[in-house]
Amino acid sequence: MDLTKAAQLFLLLITANMIYAQKIIPLYKGAVPNAKPCNKIEDNTVAGRVSGITKPCLYAFIPEKKDSAKTCVIICPGGGYARLAIDHEGYQVAQAYNRRGITAFVLKNRVPIDADCFENKEIVALMDAQQAIKLVRERATDYGINPNNIGLMGFSAGGHLATTAGTHFNTVVIENNNNTSVRPDFLILGYPVISFNDSLAHMGSRDNMLGKNPTEEKKTLYSNELQVTSQTPPTFLVHATDDQTVKVENSILFFMALLKNKVPAEMYIYQKGGHGFGLNNKSEPTDWLANVYAWMKTNRFIKGDVE
């Protein structure tokens, strides 16, 4: 099979995955805030990835039978703040949650590498994450979910976005006339970028968000292990020791900060797996998402009545 036919087949598979999303929900009515005219065109021709996003949205995945806790998870795919790995860190994850009776939304947020499209690239991804939480919380009745049971899940740079939303929620960067809480009720983090400290940062993510020469103040502000308080949401983390892209210390330091602040937390560390394994770590047999469900049940985010 030549590369063109292979790419076409993959796009068909991606489209089939998206069919499972019952609804595509624009994040904003009318003009998208923090935007300016640019020549970016959304591109999903690279297998499983999307870039050039100027119209952020949510893909809603609603299960036929819901866990009675009426929990939902908003999923932030990774991609180094340059693109989104929207298939294996988005659609596939949402479908897995649906099989467990959990409502899921995949966030297609703007990424700061497209600096010419934004007035302020530093906050553009956080804006979209906060708007997603606000929108889902305000429409909870429509989706049959508990507005106080909304989790945020992030992979890699999406983990940095999730932890920024989970530690910077008192700094609201969107229009919020209803004063709706933009704090997620819990976090689930897959091999997350956490720190922007020189020795730990995934430099691609940091450069795309803050530029090549950020100030020490900005590095500290977005080193989210330093921003944890007692109000940071309960958190589950998974990482692999041999991750050569995002050092495992990112998760370890965040976990230690959670413990210091007496925030409920659980962490699973694989010996092998590298980076970007999504739901399936082919190097080790443990199903880490099963551990997430057990943790969610322990913390009463789900009740365990859907199998």
Assess whether pLDDT exceeds 90 at residue 251: yes
Instruction: Specify if 175 maps to a domain.
Output: yes
pLDDT at 10: 47
Asked if the model's pLDDT at residue 9 lies above 60, the reply is: no
Q: How confident is the model at residue 88 (pLDDT cuts 50, 70, 90)?
A: very high
Q: What CATH number did the domain enclosing 145 receive?
A: 3.40.50.1820
In this predicted structure, the answer to whether residue 83 has a pLDDT above a threshold of 70 is yes
Q: How many domains does the chain divide into?
A: 1
Reply yes or no on whether the pLDDT at 22 is more than 90: no
Radius of gyration of the chain (CA): 18
User: Is 222 within the bounds of a domain?
Assistant: yes
Tokens in use for 307?
Answer: 């199998």
pLDDT range class, residue 16, cuts 50, 70, 90: very low
80 inside domain: yes
Report if residue 173 sits inside a domain. yes
Question: Does a structural domain hold residue 73?
Answer: yes
Q: Does residue 304 sit within a domain? A: no
211, part of any domain: yes
Flag whether pLDDT at 21 surpasses 80.
no
CA nearest 248: which of 228, 264, 268? 268
More confident residue, 20 or 301: 301
Give percent of the chain above pLDDT 70: 92
pLDDT bin (cut points 50, 70, 90) of residue 8 is: low
Evaluate whether residue 53 is within a structural domain. yes
Distance CA 51, CA 41 (A): 8
Pairing of strands 235-240, 186-190: parallel
Is pLDDT above 90 for 293? Answer: yes
Residue 293's contacts (CB-CB under 8 Å, 6 or more residues apart) are 100, 302, 304
- CA distance readout (Å), 79 to 89, 191, 245: 9, 12, 12
pLDDT of residue 144: 95
pLDDT tier for residue 254 given thresholds of 50, 70 and 90: very high
What is the mean predicted confidence (pLDDT) over 266-277? 98
Question: How large is the average pLDDT for residues 17-30?
Answer: 79
Number of Cβ within 10 Å of residue 146's Cβ equals: 16
User: Tell me, what's the pLDDT at 217?
Assistant: 98
- Note the pLDDT tens digit of each residue in 40-72: 999 998 889 999 999 999 999 999 999 999 999
Report which of 84, 22, 30, 29 is spatially closest to residue 59, judged by C-alpha positions: 22
Domain limits at 67? 3-298
Contact 191, 85 (CB under 8 A): no
> Measured between alpha carbons, how far is 2 from 99 in angstroms, rounded to an integer?
35
pLDDT of residue 250: 98
Q: What is the pLDDT of residue 306?
A: 58
